[in-house]
Amino acid sequence: MTTDTAKLPESLARIVQRFQRQSDPKRRYELLLWYAKQLAEFPEVDRVPENKVPGCVSQVYINAICDNERVWFRGDSDSQLVKGLVGLLILGLNGLTPNEILQVTPDFIEDTGLNMNLTPSRTNGFYNIFQTIRRKVLEFCT
């Protein structure tokens, strides 16, 4: 299934397009690791059970703050590839309204080509991270 990037928020569409330009799986991994490095430091105080993403093999934390009808995320993982997935989602969704975020579906990952190169547990981790982001928006921002 192919997502129409025109229907994605601009920031997320740009990320998908960057991955689409990379035909080599190694280059996609390098880009994913670059997104991991773009994340701000995750505060130790936020490493609490409420922020832990369930169902991930890696330790993954996501925090959301609603400010002036916009949502801002922070996240971290002990796995660099998973941290890259966190970075991809955070950089693609930061600063959007709750409604804009809730309209995004996770199938855009197929357009990046990453789903073909990730292990099943990492793909499952991506969906768990995505669902945690949605849950945080619903709980704290709507």
Residues taking part in catalysis: 56
What letters, b where the CB count within 10 A reaches 16 and e where it falls short, cover 4-31? ebeebbeebbebbeebeebeeeeebbeb
**Strand locations in the chain (E):** 60-67, 70-77
Beta-sheet strands, E only, within 2-122: 60-67, 70-77
